[in-house]
Amino acid sequence: MAINMITPILMTEDAALLALTHWLSPVFPVGGYAYSQGLESAVETGDVDDAVSLQDWLAVVLEDGTGQADAIFLTAAMAVDADHSELDAWATALAASSERLQETNEQGAAFTRAVNDLNGETSPPVALPIAVGRAAAYLGLAPERVAALYLQAMIANLVTGAVRHIPLGQGAGQKVIAGLAPLILRIATSAVGKSPKDIRSASFGADRASIAHETQDVRIFRT
């Protein structure tokens, strides 16, 4: 059933969750599997080489880097009076590297195209968290709930890449995802009501890895 994105819709919570988890699933044509947020570079240099270092790396990304920034952009985009164009300008200005900007713009454009195709809409492309928040605003779900599922999908995608690239056992990868759940919930909840002015960054290793990846000789991932 197509979802009308112009006016708010009445739908059950279960239907809303099905729509959201569809959008955030690997089958949705966003191409998240092609991006690593510089994690490939961190694996190449040995900064991330096992489950412990992977979980530590991702915890910093969540709390002090992409995670908290994306959660704030997403929840801000869900507000009734959200200016998505202005939020997108903030996302461009705050991108830590050219590849981080490429990543959020390309996935945001792909997400927007897919949702537009589903719903017969013509929304303009914006950065990924803003695109997800804009679409999710009509589902009637709590912003912190949407942000938590978004962050879990982001972490699951990065762990999937790490499982193949470190390499890491599937069981170890699942434990990393489960171990980050409390942090994901806390960051998603704390993002509600904040604006881009509240975004901070202290994920220096991840930012450096993303910059280094731009000139890495052998690359599997786009970023």
**What's the chain's average pLDDT?**
92
Q: How far apart are the first and last CA of the chain?
A: 35
Q: Is the pLDDT assigned to residue 5 strictly greater than 60?
A: no
Q: At what angle are helices 181-191 and 143-165 packed, to 10 degrees?
A: 140
> Using one digit for the tens of pLDDT, what is the confidence trace for 39-89?
989 989 999 999 999 999 999 999 999 999 999 999 999 999 999 999 999
Residue 10 sits at the vertex; the CA angle it makes with 9 and 16, to the nearest 5 degrees, is 85
Q: Is the pLDDT assigned to residue 216 strictly greater than 90?
A: no
Q: Is the pLDDT assigned to residue 191 strictly greater than 50?
A: yes
Quickly state the pLDDT bin for 10 (edges 50, 70, 90): low
The SS3 assignment for 131 reads helix
Q: Give the residue from 81, 87, 86, 85 showing the smallest Cα distance to 69.
A: 87
> Using one digit for the tens of pLDDT, what is the confidence trace for 112-144?
999 999 999 999 999 999 999 999 999 999 999
The domains located in the chain, with CATH, are 13-213 (1.10.4190.10)
| Nearest-angstrom CA–CA distance, 12 and 8 | 13
CB contact at 8 A, 47 and 31: no
